[in-house]
């Protein structure tokens, strides 16, 4: 998933999102991954709740009676049993092409993405974002992003307590989460999670391929929404191979 402030009409990730600043580069001087890992599950949920709420305040959300909201309800019906609890799913009204999910089950998809994709394709994208959450990638991104944000403001955790963050710091934290770039292994694992989840729900797995293909056309095959390693075309081929293996059984 990619940030709150993104270039119009370009993919940006991304539940837990999928591209932007490398997670490891967020660790500034005086901080470490070991320090980040001291955040408990409760800390991660609390910080995610706050960051998601801050994002909602700075973005226009589609009302429950809008076509976008109705579509999203239908789409999520095909993503049951994702192992992501407390799902809180909404549509942001913006022409940007993006979707992301945080570790607390906060899921946001942008109307720009819904405008260019079918329901099945959006379902595939959200399945990928849920994969980052279910597989723990989003939790790690929060741990690292919080450490960097707190360190720059001299508000690091003391005696195991999570420092309180201001509204601007929460906005910065959320932007880091949405812009977090996962490793190739993590991205592939999230792709496979999406495929398996779609299969379990008897949903259209081919739509995950066409979603990648559409993203590839936006930026020459290096869609930032799903990371640049591998590019969208390679990821589409990976899912096609999985579909072929299932069909051959």
Q: Which residues are tagged catalytic?
A: 129
Enumerate the β-bridge partners of residue 61.
92
Strand 99-101: give its sheet, edge to edge: 88-92, 106-110, 99-101
CA-based R_g, the chain, Å: 17
CB-based contacts of 3, cutoff 8 Å, min separation 6: 12, 17, 20, 175, 178, 179
Other beta carbons less than 10 A from residue 224's beta carbon = 25
Of 127, 118, 214, 157, the residue nearest 37 (C-alpha): 157
44 with 142: CB under 8 angstroms? yes
Collapsing DSSP states into helix, strand and coil, what is residue 241?
helix
The three-point CA angle 79-230-98 to 5° equals 50
């Amino acid at each position: 998933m990619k940030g709150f402030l993104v270039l119009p009409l370009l993919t940006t990730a991304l539940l837990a999102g999928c591209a932007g600043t490398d997670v490891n580069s967020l660790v500034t001087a005086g901080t470490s991954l070991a320090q980040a890992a001291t955040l408990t599950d409760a800390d991660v949920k609390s910080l995610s709740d706050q960051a998601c709420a801050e994002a909602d305040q700075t973005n226009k959300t589609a009302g429950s009676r809008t076509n976008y909201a109705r579509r999203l309800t239908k789409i999520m019906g095909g993503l049951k049993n994702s192992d992501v609890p407390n799902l809180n799913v909404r549509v942001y009204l913006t022409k940007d092409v993006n979707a992301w999910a945080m570790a607390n089950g906060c899921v946001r998809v942008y109307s720009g993405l819904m405008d260019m994709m079918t329901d099945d394709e959006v379902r595939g994208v959200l399945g990928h974002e849920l994969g980052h959450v279910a597989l723990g990638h989003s939790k790690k991104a929060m741990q690292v992003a919080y450490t960097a944000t707190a360190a720059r403001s001299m508000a690091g955790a003391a005696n195991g307590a999570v420092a309180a963050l201001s509204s601007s710091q929460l906005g910065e934290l959320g932007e880091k989460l949405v812009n977090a770039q996962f490793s190739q292994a993590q991205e592939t694992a999230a792709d496979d999670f999406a495929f398996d989840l779609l299969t379990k729900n008897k949903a259209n797995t081919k739509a995950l391929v066409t979603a990648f293909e559409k993203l590839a056309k936006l930026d020459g095959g290096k869609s930032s929404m799903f990371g640049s390693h591998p590019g969208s075309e390679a990821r589409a081929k990976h899912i096609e191979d999985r579909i072929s293996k299932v069909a051959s059984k």
